Amino acid sequence: MVLSPSLSLTALLEHPFLLLLATVIVFAAFYVRATIGFGSGLIAVAMLTLLFPIKEVVPVVLLLDLLGSVLLGAYDFHEIRWPELRWLVPGSFVGLAIGSFILAATDAQNLTRFLGVFILAYVVYALALKPEGLPRVSLPWGVPLGIFGGIVGSLYGGGGPPIVAYLQMRHLDKRAFRATFQGIALTDNVLRVFMYVGLSLLTVPLALGFLLLVPPLLLGLWAGNHLHMRINQRIFLYGTLLVLALVGCKYLL
């Protein structure tokens, strides 16, 4: 059940218990983000919409994701694989435009189910081969999967699954995977910020409310980064598949 309090600064300060719940959710979301490189948007949106209106949750989570992408991208800057981004980013631009037209002209719910089936099929495929046994795709595959990721990002607020699949099949090590994903996520987030401001979805009160959630974001990134540095590549690969499976189930349901 969605409650009346909003994610604005004033409303959060007037409801300290809800602020505490939001703080715990944001910490958990960015703990996962720092550990495996993605997933914060899914977790934060799914949980915060139980407490706040979705039209406020999505813009605030966008700002949180943008900050998370900047911080992780800066921390891992020397690990970014720029050749991957040179193919992914142009495809993502095209996909974001296509997704906007699809969103305006069709029922996105049916597309959501298709995306859930696609993600779960990929997870089953990857588990059958074992992640380390996935075929190695060439760089140009970044264009179609970037387009697919851009479409997903435009429709659902995050194009992670197709990009994750591409980077897994490029067989990047865990640090390069996390760093390169931040590059494409940052591109997507910046474009969406301009779009949300233009549509008046991102307002000053919500931006001020976002500032209250920065401390748990920073703590989650710090704690998750410690785990990221300790887990081995195999556990990392299976962790990404687990999060993808949860994303696929969410889209189907």
| DSSP conformation letters of the chain | ---S--SSHHHHHH-HHHHHHHHHHHHHHHHHHHHHS--HHHHHHHHHTTTS-HHHHHHHHHHHHHHHHHHHHHHTGGG--HHHHHHHHHHHHHHHHHHHHHHHHS-HHHHHHHHHHHHHHHHHHHHHH-GGGSPPPPGGGHHHHHHHHHHHHHHHS--HHHHHHHHHHTT--HHHHHHHHHHHHHHHHHHHHHHHHHTT-S-HHHHHHHHHTHHHHHHHHHHHHHHHHHS-HHHHHHHHHHHHHHHHHHHH-
Contacts with 218 (C-beta within 8 Å, 6 or more apart), sequence order: 71
Q: Kindly indicate the confidence band of residue 3, based on its pLDDT and cuts at 50, 70 and 90.
A: very low
Q: Kindly indicate the confidence band of residue 127, based on its pLDDT and cuts at 50, 70 and 90.
A: confident
∠ CA 116-167-69, rounded to 5°:
85
Overall average pLDDT of the 190-214 stretch: 85
The pTM of the full predicted model, rounded to 2 decimals, is 0.78
What is the pLDDT at residue 27? 95
How is the chain split into domains, by residue range?
A: 9-252
Computed over every residue of the chain, the mean pLDDT equals: 82
What is the pLDDT at residue 212? 93
Tally the C-alpha atoms within 13 A of residue 207's C-alpha that lie toward its C-beta: 9
Distance CA 99, CA 155 (A): 6
Per-residue pLDDT tens for 169-195? 888 888 888 888 888 888 878 877 887
Among the ranges given (7-11, 96-100, 138-142, 225-229), the one the predictor scored with the smallest mean pLDDT: 96-100
What is the pLDDT at residue 211? 93
Overall average pLDDT of the 124-150 stretch: 83
Per-residue pLDDT tens for 31-61? 988 888 877 877 787 788 788 887 788 788 8
What is the pLDDT at residue 191? 79
Output the CA torsion 221→227→228→234 (10° steps).
-150
Contact between residue 237 and residue 131 where contact means Cβ atoms under 8 Å apart: yes
